[in-house]
Amino acid sequence: MIKLLTALFVFVLISTGVGAENGHKLWLRANSTIPVEVRCSKKSPTIDIAINELKNGWQGKAGQLIELKIVKDKLLKDDGFRINGATIQAKTDAGLLYGAFEILRRQHAGESIAEEIVNPSYNLRILNHWDNLDGSVERGYAGRSIFWRGIDSLEVTSGDLNLWKEYARANASVGINATVLNNVNASPSVLTTPVLERAKAVADVLRPCGIKTYLAVNFASPEVIGGLETADPFDPAVKAWWKEKVKEIYTLIPDFGGFLVKANSEGQPGPQNFGRNHADGANMMAEALEPYNGIVMWRAFVYDPSDEDRAKQAYNEFMPLDGQFHDNVIIQVKNGPIDFQPREPFSPLFGAMKKTTVMPELQVTMEYHGQSVHLVFLATMWEEFLKSETWQEGAGSTVARCTDGSIFNQKYSAIAGVANIGLDTNWCGHDFAQANWYAFGRQAWDHSISSAQIADEWLKLTFGPQNIDKETSSYDLEWNLSFLQPVKQMMLNSHEATVNYMMPLGLHHIFSAHAHYGPGPWWAPRGMRADWTPPYYHQADSLGIGFDRTALGSDAISQYHEPLAGQLADLNTCPEAYLLWFHHVSWDHKMKSNRTLWNELCYRYDEGVKQVREFQRVWDKAERFVDAERFAAVQHKLTEQGMNAQEWKDACLLYFQQFSKQPIPYELERPLFNLDELLERDRQRVRRSR
């Protein structure tokens, strides 16, 4: 009887345990017991990790011998590597580690491994954590900071060390080699010694995985924590303070990467406070860092409540400084000219600053894309951005090539992603948000990779059956047809869906003032600075909608290079995806679909809602292929996303209808919300969020 009960108990444990996953293992779930032998003549903590990864994850021929070799090879760039089934060659230890992860990924994704050289597109592939020292994360939707929990709680626990190690491994597995530990809205305290000591502890854990540590710094630090009277970059005491501080940092962290600076932007102090310009400020810091090969990443995200179109201001401010920055300064430019909107045209600074290193800043955390609720695979948006043609040096001058060093002579090439990582068990809040962390790493490594390839890999690694056919490394046909293909298509459609139900046709910045979540095209409280209100951006009136950025309007189009500028300026050639970004367009304007603009707008919003409903169906149908915990979590969020999409559609159409005075086309589904109800909800949310 006891035996029977025990048997039953074991059975229950097994059957409820089957398939339960909480997402903490990310895309690194696979384990293997297939024996493999790994040898390397060199020994280092990084190489040890590479060897261990191969031993724990090997899914190739049993008993295979793998050789890791540090080599001199002109075809290898930075941490690039050469692989085949039996060897990994690289110039650096990190290169061997990346090679090991590449082989394992291909095995687990069922891809072939031929002799091949794999080089990174950018030297510096960096995550920006917007983590505050108090443990909160600005625009973070996955729990509190993994690095900080308050300046009174700086001691390092074994839990911290474990988590940072997992974090470092995940980054290394996709080629991320740098991280900024704190928010760009930086507390001066980050440069105090106790905080730096904790940063050193992080750096020590990240280092073996090939990851360098950076800090975001406050320009006023010399005054605030240094006790100086000024932070003027021309002041000798200020310069000396920064040099001394940098020296202190390098004593603690010998391979420290450098500083990230948000200056004279949204209330942050900067060189302009002292009558100096951005180059003056950045170069002063660059001088301090230069002896240690440290760099300064200086953000171009600047705008004032002036009469000038906000979309033009960064260009206006930085272009005159082109050529004035030291070669260890990199100007960090957000992908679009406003602020991480669901869809933006690329910032005109890309390719335009020819004598300055410019790096793209992507937002992995989804401030404007539905945060931790909406399923949005951002790789397609980043791919669209990276492959955008700037024409700055003729055909082929894509944003990617204007920033990777292949066109302009530059000491560094870099790309940053604002991290979406927190203490949530699954790291990113939404199980599918892990795909964006993954995709950022993959695209930073290889900016020519397709989003479809990334989605394919990620799904196999993250949701694939644990034991694939060892002979062929291939996936079951049913899994492929009934899970992988539809779910991959959902991911690939997800960004466009979000654009459709939030801000189609080039609309932007029409979100609620409440935490940048949900619709708020109406939001414009009395006295609020105009460039923080949606009506500034959508400009809806009885005639039409959209921001006129032609020569008759703000002329922002002139910041782009021909022939693009001409194409954008002409209503007939401007891509419809950006139509209302660049033009104020009549409600009755005939679109390519042959619909009027108003009707097209209705169709796009409606399409977005339908797309999410389709995602819900796709996911529900995938139920039998997914563990219960992650299935339910994603299903719950998709349902919420469906309702949010409806809210966006109804809010925007009912609000804009007050201007267009036209009916929503009768063939479309009618609103589920009334406008007054949506306005009241928004008012309450804004009130509560204060």
**Contact predicate 177/124, CB 8 Å:** yes
β-pairing verdict for 357-363 and 329-334? parallel
How many residues are listed for the chain in this entry?
690
Which one of the listed residues 339, 431, 600, 647 is annotated catalytic? Answer: 339
Shortest distance in whole angstroms from residue 676 CB to a copy of itself:
8
SS3 99: helix
Q: Would you count residue 478 as binding a copy of itself (CB under 8 A)? A: no
Q: Would you count residue 666 as binding a copy of itself (CB under 8 A)? A: yes
Residue 266 is among the residues annotated as catalytic for this protein: yes
How many amino acids of this chain bind a copy of itself (CB under 8 A)? Answer: 24
Shortest distance in whole angstroms from residue 650 CB to a copy of itself:
8
Calpha distance 447→348 (Å, rounded): 19
Amino acid at 532: W
Using CB under 8 A, pick the residue from 31, 448, 674, 689 that binds a copy of itself: 674
Residue 339 is among the residues annotated as catalytic for this protein: yes
Alpha carbon separation from 242 to 221, 222, 280 (Å, rounded): 9, 7, 14
Binding marks (x or -) toward a copy of itself, 368..407, rule CB under 8 A? ----------------------------------------
Strand (E) or helix (H) holding 404: none
Q: Would you count residue 263 as binding a copy of itself (CB under 8 A)? A: no
Using CB under 8 A, pick the residue from 375, 638, 651, 653 that binds a copy of itself: 638
Using CB under 8 A, pick the residue from 12, 669, 680, 689 that binds a copy of itself: 669
Identify which range of 150-158, 173-181, 565-573, 633-641 contacts a copy of itself by CB under 8 A: 633-641
Instruction: Give the residue with the Cβ less far from a copy of itself, 402 or 612.
Output: 612
Which one of the listed residues 67, 115, 244, 266 is annotated catalytic? Answer: 266
The tokens describing 185, both together, are 């809205």
Neighbours of 200 (CB within 10 A): 17
Query: Cis before residue 291, ω within 30 degrees of 0?
Result: no
* Dihedral (Cα; 647, 530, 311, 377), 10-degree rounding: -20
Binding marks (x or -) toward a copy of itself, 187..206, rule CB under 8 A? --------------------
Identify which range of 171-179, 261-269, 353-361, 663-671 contacts a copy of itself by CB under 8 A: 663-671
Q: Would you count residue 69 as binding a copy of itself (CB under 8 A)? A: no
Would you give the end-to-end CA distance of the chain in angstroms? 62
Site for a copy of itself in 604-623 (CB under 8 A): 613, 616-617, 620-621, 623
Shortest distance in whole angstroms from residue 13 CB to a copy of itself:
21
Q: Would you count residue 681 as binding a copy of itself (CB under 8 A)? A: no
Instruction: Give the residue with the Cβ less far from a copy of itself, 265 or 596.
Output: 596
Shortest distance in whole angstroms from residue 616 CB to a copy of itself:
4
Identify which range of 66-74, 264-272, 362-370, 669-677 contacts a copy of itself by CB under 8 A: 669-677
> Where are the alpha helices (H) located in 111-211, listed in sequence order?
158-173, 193-206
Binding marks (x or -) toward a copy of itself, 217..256, rule CB under 8 A? ----------------------------------------
Instruction: Give the residue with the Cβ less far from a copy of itself, 42 or 617.
Output: 617
Using CB under 8 A, pick the residue from 55, 393, 673, 686 that binds a copy of itself: 673
**Contact predicate 525/598, CB 8 Å:** no
Instruction: Give the residue with the Cβ less far from a copy of itself, 426 or 616.
Output: 616
CA atoms within 13 A on the CB side of 579: 22
Q: Is 61 exposed, middle or buried (0-12, 13-18, 19+ CB in 10 A)?
A: middle
Calpha distance 397→455 (Å, rounded): 26
Amino acid at 293: N
Instruction: Give the residue with the Cβ less far from a copy of itself, 486 or 575.
Output: 486
Shortest distance in whole angstroms from residue 634 CB to a copy of itself:
12
Instruction: Give the residue with the Cβ less far from a copy of itself, 454 or 645.
Output: 645
Calpha distance 190→312 (Å, rounded): 32
Residue 53 is among the residues annotated as catalytic for this protein: no
Calpha distance 597→507 (Å, rounded): 12
Strand (E) or helix (H) holding 647: helix 628-660
Shortest distance in whole angstroms from residue 490 CB to a copy of itself:
13
Residues facing residue 81 across a β-bridge: 90, 118
Shortest distance in whole angstroms from residue 517 CB to a copy of itself:
16
CA nearest to 48, candidates 198, 165, 183, 194: 165
CA atoms within 13 A on the CB side of 222: 24
Calpha distance 240→491 (Å, rounded): 51
Q: Would you count residue 39 as binding a copy of itself (CB under 8 A)? A: no
Using CB under 8 A, pick the residue from 8, 636, 680, 684 that binds a copy of itself: 636
* DSSP 8-state secondary structure symbol assigned to residue 137: B
Calpha distance 462→164 (Å, rounded): 20
Instruction: Give the residue with the Cβ less far from a copy of itself, 266 or 669.
Output: 669
SS3 485: helix
Shortest distance in whole angstroms from residue 606 CB to a copy of itself:
12
* Share in percent of the chain as helix, strand, coil (round to 5): 45, 10, 45
Binding marks (x or -) toward a copy of itself, 639..658, rule CB under 8 A? xx-xx--x------------
The tokens describing 564, both together, are 């693009």
Enzyme catalytic residues: 266, 339, 367
Residues contributing to the site for a copy of itself (CB under 8 A): 613, 616-617, 620-621, 623, 636, 638-640, 642-643, 646, 663-664, 666, 669-674, 676-677
